[in-house]
């Protein structure tokens, strides 16, 4: 349109040209079967030509034509001004009429743009009037826009998109000390849903009204009312998002102070909510929101990306800040699983975040999410190291009574068993870190056919955890006064560790060689136990007596009595001891029984000791041995009455 200005109507040639054009227009206008559109086009052109020549509009018929058309548009706008009903609710005819009127006025304004209004009072007056009509119409469009956005918004139920298949929740809120085996069942990793973001687009606005919104956007932006459009559009869509966030998803906002002071049980459930909300909001809601913006404002790149970022900003920042707060908090070992969950969720969504905030406007938020991922990874590593520290720091002055399985052993083994479901992520996290302190743990390079998993970073870290545990157990075992109980305790605990590893995915991380070695270890403790307990007791029954020279002189009867006493002493103590694993208990009893019963039977048989000198028959003794390691307080007399 600016081109009009270059035409100087004072030049004679140009005057002629315009006159000729006028003539052609008139001729064309006389054709009968012209479509309305064409006719309007010709009329527009006619007005342009009139304005270019400047003077004609003052008195010519064109001025009247312009005024007529303005008046027509004005009337329509004013009529709607008085009408309470919404145009877009009324019908498509009314809509196109209204938009047509705006378009017409806009065309007129544009055509005036080359004319110096100061020179031409008439044009100026028309321009004022046209602008006034546009202003009223725009106000109206804004109202219509909000009305449509509010009344045609759609929500999807969160269940619509089920992410729960991704991974069953790992619950780990047990305290460090007491822990039952059953409470931590490592959940199975279900293959991650191969998510293409396109799968999750939903309608946030009724698709039927999208073309209407597009038409309003076009009209408002064409009239340079883009700021007003953005304000209304962003505001309405923000409200919709807020409603979704706070009312439908029932999410809450927390200050960092809140999060840091939260009880662990509350925090872990909030973390789960965050994981869930991140997926729904980023993968589904905001992806769909962006799509909606594109549909409505696709033609206007800058406006489009600006609108989206403004709509989504508060929500992005809210999700971000919760993550920041969690990453800032203390890193007790229990938190590791939550941190890993958050890490995996964010890692999985990062590509989507990148594409949502691709443009300059949102780039700093995008970068912050990348930073958050790094921080969560760091916190997760720290929580892992905390476990090692906690194992080393776990010291008590009292030995665990009865030599059973220490809570620490249970805790650590259940903990690392659960860790294996995060193997990929953990390997990634450990690879980033230098692994200087784990090199000593790698054993048995000589072995053939070892799975590469046995040497992955996680495997190394797991073995370093169990070796820290072993060290801690050895320290704890020193608290026992009896050597025998010390061996029972170590046997029990190492056996437990081995069983846990053999019976789970941990097996491949530790490797067969490690397992063999540790089976050897607890068997060694079983042997040591037998030596420590029974060597002295059985010495009474030995013929050659190289255990003790003094017993040689005593009579067989006396030796038998002394053996009985010694056995009773052992019995009283060791029935209180505990071997929880039935198989292990059975094995130890059998081998003990073999040794003791064999020696006793031989002794009695060879020395022909009469029954009245014998307190226990061989059968009695065999039965009594069955009471061992039951962890009971039964007295000997009771047991005899059975």
Partner 1 sequence: MPATDYQGSFLGRISIRRNQVMSMEGNHEQELEDLELFQKHVADRFAELAPPSPSQPSDDIPSDPILSIAWIRKLLDVFLCCDAEFKAILIMGRDPSQISKPPLDRLIPEMLDRDVKALDICNAITNGIEAVRHYQKLAEIAVSALEQRPFGDGQVKRARKALTSLITAMACEDKDGANYTRTWSFGRRGAAAAGNNKSTGQLRSLSWSVSKNWSAAKQIHAMSANLVAPRGTEASGLALPVYIMSTILLFVMWTMVATIPCQERSGLATHFPVPKQLVWAQSIIGLHEKIAEEWKKKEKKGSAGLLEEMQKLDKLGQSLIEFTDSFQFPAEDERAEEVSAHLAELGETCRRMEEGLVPLQVQIREVFHRIVRSRAEFLDVLDLNGKSSALAM
Shortest CB 408 distance to partner 1, Å: 9
Residues 6+ apart with CB under 8 A from 245: 251, 277, 281, 315, 318
Shortest CB 478 distance to partner 1, Å: 17
Shortest CB 335 distance to partner 1, Å: 13
What is the Cα–Cα distance from 298 to 259, expressed in whole angstroms?
A: 40
Give the interface with partner 1 as residue ranges (CB under 8 A). 84, 86, 117, 124, 127-136, 138-140, 142-147, 150-151, 176-177, 224, 227-228, 230-232, 234-236, 238-239, 241-243, 245-247, 252-258, 260, 313-315, 317-318, 321, 324, 328, 364, 368, 371, 389-390, 393-396
Shortest CB 242 distance to partner 1, Å: 4
Nearer to partner 1 (CB atom), residue 117 or residue 171: 117
Residue bearing tokens 């600016």: 2
DSSP 159-213: GGS--TTSB--------SS---GGG--PPPBPPPP---GGGG---SB-GGGHHHH
Nearer to partner 1 (CB atom), residue 226 or residue 627: 226
What is the Cα–Cα distance from 500 to 407, expressed in whole angstroms?
A: 14
Residues 6+ apart with CB under 8 A from 165: 190, 193
Cβ neighbours around 117 below 10 Å, total = 15
Shortest CB 177 distance to partner 1, Å: 7
Nearer to partner 1 (CB atom), residue 176 or residue 556: 176
Cβ neighbours around 18 below 10 Å, total = 18
Residues 6+ apart with CB under 8 A from 134: 102, 105, 106, 109, 223
Cβ neighbours around 621 below 10 Å, total = 20
State the Cα torsion 367-372-377-379 to the nearest 10°: 150
What is the Cα–Cα distance from 127 to 131, expressed in whole angstroms?
A: 6
Nearer to partner 1 (CB atom), residue 364 or residue 633: 364
Nearer to partner 1 (CB atom), residue 261 or residue 531: 261
Nearer to partner 1 (CB atom), residue 325 or residue 338: 325
Nearer to partner 1 (CB atom), residue 149 or residue 166: 149
Q: Any idea what the Cα angle at residue 172 is, between residues 168 and 174, rounded to 5°?
A: 150
Nearer to partner 1 (CB atom), residue 318 or residue 462: 318
């Amino acid at each position: 349109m600016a081109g009009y200005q270059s035409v100087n109507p004072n030049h004679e040639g140009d005057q002629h040209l315009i006159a000729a054009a006028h003539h052609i227009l008139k001729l064309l206008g006389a054709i009968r079967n012209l479509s309305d559109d064409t006719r309007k086009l010709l009329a527009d052109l006619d007005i342009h030509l009139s304005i270019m020549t400047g003077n004609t509009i003052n008195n010519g018929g064109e001025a009247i034509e312009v005024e007529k058309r303005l008046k027509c548009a004005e009337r329509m706008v004013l009529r709607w001004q008085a009408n309470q009903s919404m145009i877009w609710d009324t019908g498509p005819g009314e809509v196109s009429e209204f938009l047509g009127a705006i378009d017409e006025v806009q065309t007129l304004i544009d055509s005036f743009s080359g004319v110096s209004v100061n020179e031409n009072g008439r044009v100026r007056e028309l321009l004022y009037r046209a602008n006034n009509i546009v202003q009223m119409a725009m106000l109206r469009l804004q109202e219509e826009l909000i009305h449509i956005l509010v009344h045609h918004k759609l929500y999807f139920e969160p269940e619509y998109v089920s992410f729960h298949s991704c991974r069953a929740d790992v619950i780990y809120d047990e305290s460090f000390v007491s822990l039952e085996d059953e409470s931590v069942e490592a959940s199975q990793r279900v293959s991650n849903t191969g998510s293409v973001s396109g799968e999750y687009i939903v309608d946030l606005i009724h698709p039927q009204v999208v073309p209407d919104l597009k038409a309003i956007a076009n009209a408002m932006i064409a009239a340079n009312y883009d700021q007003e459009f953005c304000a209304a559009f962003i505001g309405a869509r923000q409200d919709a998002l807020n409603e979704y966030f706070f009312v439908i998803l029932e999410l809450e906002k927390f200050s960092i102070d809140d999060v840091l002071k939260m009880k662990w049980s509350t925090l872990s459930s909030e973390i789960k909510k965050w994981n869930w909300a991140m997926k729904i909001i980023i993968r589904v809601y905001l992806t769909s929101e962006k799509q909606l913006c594109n549909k409505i404002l696709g033609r206007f790149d800058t406006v489009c990306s600006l609108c989206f970022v403004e709509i989504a900003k508060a929500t992005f920042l809210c999700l971000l800040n919760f993550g920041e707060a969690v990453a800032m908090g203390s890193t007790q070992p229990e938190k590791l699983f939550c941190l890993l969950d958050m890490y995996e969720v964010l890692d999985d969504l990062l590509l989507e975040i990148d594409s949502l905030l691709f443009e300059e406007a949102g780039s700093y938020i995008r970068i912050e999410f990348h930073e958050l991922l790094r921080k969560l990874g760091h916190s997760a590593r720290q929580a892992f190291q905390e476990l090692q520290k906690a194992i080393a720091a776990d010291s008590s002055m009292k030995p665990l009574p009865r030599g059973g399985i220490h809570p620490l052993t249970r805790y650590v083994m259940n903990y690392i068993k659960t860790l294996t479901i995060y193997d990929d992520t953990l390997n990634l996290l450990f690879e980033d870190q230098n692994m200087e302190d784990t090199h000593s743990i790698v054993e048995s390079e000589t072995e053939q056919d070892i799975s590469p998993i046995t040497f992955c970073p996680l495997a190394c870290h797991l073995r370093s955890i169990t070796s820290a545990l072993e060290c801690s157990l050895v320290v704890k075992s020193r608290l026992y006064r009896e050597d025998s109980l010390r061996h029972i305790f170590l046997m029990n605990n190492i056996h437990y560790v081995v069983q846990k590893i053999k019976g789970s995915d941990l097996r491949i991380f530790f490797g067969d060689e490690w397992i063999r070695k540790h089976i050897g270890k607890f068997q060694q403790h079983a042997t040591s136990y037998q030596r420590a307990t029974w060597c002295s007791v059985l010495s009474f029954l030995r013929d050659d007596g190289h255990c003790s020279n003094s017993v040689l002189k005593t009579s067989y009867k006396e030796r038998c009595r002394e053996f009985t006493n010694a056995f009773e002493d052992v019995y009283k103590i060791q029935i209180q001891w505990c071997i929880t694993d039935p198989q292990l208990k059975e094995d130890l009893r059998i081998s003990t029984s073999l040794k003791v019963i064999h020696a006793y039977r031989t002794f009695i048989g060879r020395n022909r000791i009469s029954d009245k000198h014998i307190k226990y028959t061989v059968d009695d003794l065999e039965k009594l041995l069955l009471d061992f390691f039951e962890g009971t307080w039964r007295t000997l007399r009771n047991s005899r009455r059975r």
